[in-house]
Structure 1
Amino acid sequence: MKNIIVGFLTLVVVALAVFTAMDDPVYHGGNHAKVIKDFGDTDNGFTKVEEKSNREKENDALNALRDKAGNAGAFKVSREYKSKCSACHGVNGSGFQNGKAMMGPKLFGQSEEKIYTDLADFKAGRKQNIIMKGLLIKLQDADLKRLAKEIGEFPAKAKEQKK
């Protein structure tokens, strides 16, 4: 009895599949078929990339040199600063990188105490910034003080590097 029921249900499923295939406008040359044909005319789905002009190539090379120069001119910072702070505040805390304004404000020139107070306020939620809170939430007070001290020393590091 089970075999008869399973066989009947299999026939019903196959019949529905055939009916659906026959009823679909794609198989009858309707508008849907034309859309599918248009997809086939795109050179196997690949679009050709246009060759850059000499001017664009020169601009790309110049931008690459600027990036290199901007990073080379930066003084040494800790891995912690690089991983947590530099993406928004710049490699040297200037709020700029490669001549473009960053998302975060300028840290360069701020005192260690002010930076520590701001970091503690962000961590505690007294200052609202979801990115800062997320970056600082697992850091201990000693970590905040170490970061604040490092950032507070940026002007001295910059002077030392210029010599």
Structure 2
Amino acid sequence: MSAARVVMGRAKRGLYAGRHIQFGNQVSEDGGNKSRRTWKPNVQTKRIFSLGLDRYIKMNITMHALRCIDKAGGLDEYLLTTPEHKLDNDLAREWRTRIAAVYNKLYTMEVAALTVKPGCEKKLPQHLQARSRGFTLEQLKALEARNSSHLNALEAGNAS
């Protein structure tokens, strides 16, 4: 974390998504009298489910961060897609590394499961057969485009 950026103490213990205490004046309607006050972030203690870890994580979280999590598609997606400099604290970085490790492990297991023995290719769907044969990315895209054009032609024929 850069030394120029100051993070309030409570934000180090939860997901605050950049929200901090704000200071200002409350101005009365009648006389215009000013009185100093603070606006604190709307922090709640929530249990948020992590698909990668398959468990609930209890943490202090602002409602802004909760909306960001919903928009990203879940806690895992939020932590993995948010840039490093936008995560205010070490707690979020720790959860990110745990979730990333689980997803990396799942990915390696999936890749290992997709390796196909010779002669068993006919049992696989067409796009998996192409992957097992070692097609390039451009060849796979061309294959998908050809398949989608065939599906569109079939749908147009069924619609008439």
TM over 0.5: no
Question: More relative contact order in 1 or in 2 (CA 8 Å, sep 6+)?
Answer: 2
Which structure has the larger Rg? 1
TM-score by length of 1: 0.21
TM-score by length of 2: 0.21
Higher helix fraction (1 or 2): 1
